[in-house]
Amino acid sequence: MEKYTIKDIAKECGVGVSTVSRAINNHPDINPHTKKLILEKIEEKNYRPNSSARTLKKMENNTIAVLIKGISNPLFHYMIDIIQSEVLSKDYAFILKKVGFDEDETIVADEIIREQKIKGIVFLGGIFTHTEERLKTLTVPFVLSTISPSKAIDGRVYSAISIDDVRESARMTEYLIKLNHKKIAILLAKKEDVSVGYLRYQGFEETMKKHGLKVDEDLIIYSEGDGDLFSMENGYNLTKQLLSRGKEFTAIFAISDRMAIGSIKALIEAGKKVPEDVSVAGFDGLDISYYYNPSITTIRQPVEEMAKETIKQLFMLIKGSDTNKHMIFEGSIVEGNSTRKIRG
């Protein structure tokens, strides 16, 4: 017997899969005529629409968990959408688990491995500073996604999908320097940070030095405290701190788009215009950077490709591969209206 899928029904009826799903689930948002057509086709083809019943046997114990650190980061939502659809298309179940900013993700992973039957784990976001020993205790395959691999750990013990934070930060710094900015302030994570915050600072510093520009200590603003340091609120507070120092600057490089939004808010409150008085650049390429007023110049991370590769790598490990890979994706500058060229 041929295996007839929801996609076949959709194709033969000339509608999208979601419309077929609406017909099956008795959803009110569907044209009654279309619904009738779909239900007749389902009858005719003897299609069993309830995928939960059909695939339940197979799915049992076939679950992928995504552990997400920073659920309020919109960068991850699109990735979760793609990861979920890739996982479901392999007839695996999918669960999400949130990891707090002060939680150890390997402990959360241990818990979920024991509580639920998990075949693989994706770690999404966060600062990953665990020891090799901790990573080796994880008893299921896992991939670090959007997390720059730490050089302190033997690369053979984990797989990772990320951009090169140093290189992308250098790219943005080059861009600002090309617009003749020399006095560039930077909003960072904690001083003690050894992950994303540190790497993005490194790319900034190297590029400034390469162009013979001085990095003014007073224009480096580090975060303090716990929680989500890449937030709008933190960008706002760091910029107020920067302004209070009274030093001259023509541009601010915020290491996340959300920080850039908070930064612009603080500048506007201080009576400054963006980009006329100060240029502001972000990092990530979130939708809001396009919709913000002014739109924000940023580094776009190729989230779709990264999400797909994450699942590809994870399933290679699940299928028995013992080779851990580190894949580095390329970002790109998205020019917004928050930056402008000044006189050189």
Q: Which residue stretch of 172-180, 185-193, 305-313, 319-327 sits at the interface with a copy of itself (rule: CB under 8 A)?
A: 185-193
**Paired strand residues for 122:** 66, 143
Residue with tokens 């075949």: 119
Whether the CB-CB separation of 97 and 68 falls below 8 Å is answered with yes
Residue 235 is encoded by which pair of tokens? 């960008």
Phi, psi of 98 (to 5 degrees): -85, 135
158 lines the binding site for a copy of itself (CB under 8 A): no
Q: How far apart are CA 175 and CA 211, in angstroms?
A: 12
Stretch that binds a copy of itself, among 52-60, 137-145, 162-170, 213-221 (CB under 8 A): 52-60
Alpha-carbon span 101 to 144, nearest angstrom: 16
Token output for 275 = 């980009």
Residues ≥6 apart with Cβ < 8 Å to 154: 132
Q: Which of residues 189-208 bind a copy of itself (CB under 8 A)?
A: 190, 192-194
Provide the token pair at 259.
Answer: 């920080």
Interface residue with a copy of itself, options 8, 37, 77, 177 (CB under 8 A): 77
The residue among 117 and 214 lying less far from a copy of itself, judged by its C-beta, is: 117
39 belongs to the binding site for a copy of itself (CB under 8 A)? no
| 218-247 residues near a copy of itself, rule: CB under 8 A | 226, 232-233, 236
* Residue choice 43, 115, 248, 276 for contact with a copy of itself (CB under 8 A): 115
Helices (H) and strands (E) in the chain, counts: 13, 12
CB of 211 to a copy of itself, least distance (A): 31
C-alpha 146: how far from chain center? 6
Strand partners, 190: 223
Q: Closest separation between CB of residue 122 and a copy of itself, Å?
A: 14
* Smallest separation, CB 27 to a copy of itself (Å): 7
Q: Which residues in this chain contact a copy of itself in the complex, by CB under 8 A?
A: 16-19, 21-22, 25-29, 50, 52, 56, 59-60, 63, 71-72, 74, 77-78, 80-81, 84, 93-98, 100-104, 107, 110-111, 114-116, 129, 131, 190, 192-194, 226, 232-233, 236, 261-262, 264-265, 268, 287-288, 290-294
